[in-house]
Structure 1
Amino acid sequence: MSEAPESPKPGSPTGGATADASYTERLVTLEQSGIKRLLPTQAPYRWNLKRLQLGRVLDVGCGVGRNLQNCDPGSVGVDHNETSVATARARGLIAYTADEFEADPELSRPGAFDSLLVAHVLEHLDLETCEQLLKSYLPSIRSGGKVVLITPQAAGYKSDPTHVRFVDFEGLRDYAERAGLRVDRSYSFPLPEAAGKVFKYNEYILVGIVP
C-alpha cells in the first residue's frame, strides 16, 4: 500500500464531520468554483460512469447528487446528511437518508439494484465502518451486479480535512475481497496514478462483481 499523504485536521472517523449543513454548502460551492463555471469539467467523469453500464444504481454517500444525476433512471441515492439529501431531491433526484431507505421494504429488498456505487466515501470512514457499510448495502445488489468503489488519490486526499483514511488500489482490493466480491478491474482515472500527486481530481477506481 502506498504511504498515506498527510491530511489536514481529520474529521470524525465515523463520518460525523460530513453530516451537517455546512458540508452540503461546501459541496455545492465546490461544484461552482473556479474553472468549473466555464468548462464542462465533469464530462470525463460522466463518460466514465456511462461506459461502466451500471443499470439501476444504488449510490451510497450520494451527497448532493453529482454522480446520481448521471446514472440511469430509477437510480437511488442514500446519504447520512439530511441537507444533502434535500438538495439532491430539489434537483429532481431520488434520494433518501439511510433510515428512510432501510424503512422502505421495496427499496431495501434483496437484489433491487443492478449496481452499488460508493464514490468518495471510504476515505471519510474508519476501517470497521467501511466494512459495515458494504455489508449493509450489498444485499440490495443482484447477483452478478457491479460494485464500483472510488477514492481520491494523493492530492485529492490532502485537499479535504474530513478525510481520515487514504485508500489506494491495495486498500480498495482489500475492502472488495473482505466483502466477498470478485474483483473485475481497477484503474486510475482520468490520468495515470502519477498525476494524482498533483491533480486533486484523479481517482482510484475498482469494479467488483457480486457473486
Structure 2
Amino acid sequence: MPGRTSSSAAESPEAAAPAVDDAAPATHLADASATAPHASTARLPTPQRAGATRPLPVRRRPSYRRHLRRIGPGRVLEIGCGTGGTLAGCAPGSVGVDHDPRSVELCRDRGLTAYTADAFLASPHARPGAFDTLLSAHVLEHLDDEQVEGLLRAYLPYVRPGGAVVLITPQEAGHRGDPAGLMGRFTDFTLLRAFAESAGLAVRRTYSHPLPRPAGKLLRRNAFVLVGQVPRH
C-alpha cells in the first residue's frame, strides 16, 4: 500500500512546468463512484478524549493559482476548495467540492460554483471528462490509503483524458505548525507519487514551492507539489 512508504523522494528542479503530454500509460481509470468521498473529511482523534472523532475545521487555504497557470488554462475541479481562494481565480466553469457546507456557502457568496460531495454528484457539472484539471491541495495528508484511493477513483473520471492532476501537501514546518492540531501523516513526494501511480496517473513533475526543498523545515508555506496526467484512452 502507498502509506507504507515514508522516505522523501528527490524533487525536480524548480523550473517552468511544461504542459502535460501524450506519453501517459494506457491505464483505464475506474468509473465514477455512485457515492463520492467527502473531501477533507478525515476523522481524527481529538486531544481531549481518545477514540472520539471530529471533522476538519473550516480554514482559509492559500491560493494555488500559480500552479494551475503553469499547466495552462481550463476548467478546474478543486477537491477541498475551502472558502474559494484558488477557485476564484480559475477559468469559468470551474467547480469546487468541500465537505463543509459552511465553506460551500462562503464560496457561493463570492459568486463561485461549489458543492458538498453528494450535491456535486447530483449536479449538472458531474459529467465524465468535463474538467481539464483536478486540484487537491492540503487534503491528502489527512486521509489514510483507502480514503486517498477512494477519493481519486471517485473524481478522476470527471477529468478529460490527457488532463492534469495537481496534488499538494505541506512540508515539515507546515505539517507540525497546523493550528488546529489535526494534521495527519507526513505526505512527501514518495507518497504522492505512489498515490498517483496507484490511480493510473502518469507523473509529469514533482517540485517544491515556493522555495527549494530545504526551506520546508522552516517555512510553513512550503509545499510538495505533484503534477500528473490522466491517461488518454
**Contact in 1 for aligned 2:71/2:164 (Cα 8 Å):** no
What is the alpha-carbon distance in structure 2 between the residues aligned to residue 52 and residue 202 of structure 1?
A: 19
Is 1:61 equivalent to 2:92 in the alignment? no
Count of aligned pairs: 184
Distance in 1 (alpha carbons) for counterparts of 2:128 and 2:54: 28
CA distance in 1, matches of 2:67, 2:152: 22
Corresponding residue SS for 2:165:
strand
Q: 2:190 aligns with which of 145, 164, 170?
A: 170
Q: TM-score, normalised by structure 1?
A: 0.81
User: Is residue 17 of structure 1 aligned with residue 48 of structure 2?
Assistant: no
Greater share of helix: 1
| Aligned partner (choices 208, 212, 216) of residue 196 of structure 1 | 216
Aligned equivalent of 1:128, options 143, 146, 151: 146
Which 4+ residue blocks in structure 1 deviate beyond 6 angstroms? none
Contact kept, 8 Å, 2:77 with 2:133, in 1: the verdict is yes
Q: Give me the whole-angstrom Cα distance separating, in 2, the residues matched to 1:50 and 1:115.
A: 11
Shift of 1:168: 0.4
Aligned partner of residue 89 in structure 1, secondary structure: helix
* Structure 1: distance between partners of 2:106 and 2:177: 23
Q: Which residue in 2 is equivalent to 1:34?
A: none
CA-CA distance at 1:54 after TM superposition: 4.7
Structure 1 vs Structure 2 CA RMSD: 2.0
Counterpart code for 1:97: T
Q: TM-score, normalised by structure 2?
A: 0.74
Question: Of 123, 131, 135, which aligns to 1:117?
Answer: 135
Give yes or no for the alignment of 1:100 onto 2:119.
Answer: yes
**Per the alignment, in what secondary structure is the counterpart of residue 111 of structure 2?**
coil
Please name the residue that 1:154 is paired with.
172
CA distance in 1, matches of 2:55, 2:172: 20
Give the C-alpha shift of residue 164 in structure 1: 1.0
Find 1:80's aligned residue among 87, 99, 108: 99
What is residue 50 of structure 2 aligned with on the other side? none
**Percent of pairs with identical residues:** 54
Gaps in structure 1 of 5+ consecutive residues: 4-10, 32-41
CA apart distance, 1:16: 4.4
Structure 2 CA distance, aligned partners of 1:54 and 1:151? Answer: 22
Aligned match of 1:91: 110
Cα distance in 1 between the residues matched to 2:106 and 2:7: 36
| 5+ long unaligned stretches in structure 2 | 1-5, 9-41, 46-52
Q: Deviations over 1:129-187 (max 9, x none)?
A: 01100000000000000000000001101112221121100010000000000011110
Residue of structure 2 equivalent to 1:139: 157
1:13 shift after superposition: 4.4
Shift of 1:126: 1.3
Shift of 1:48: 3.1
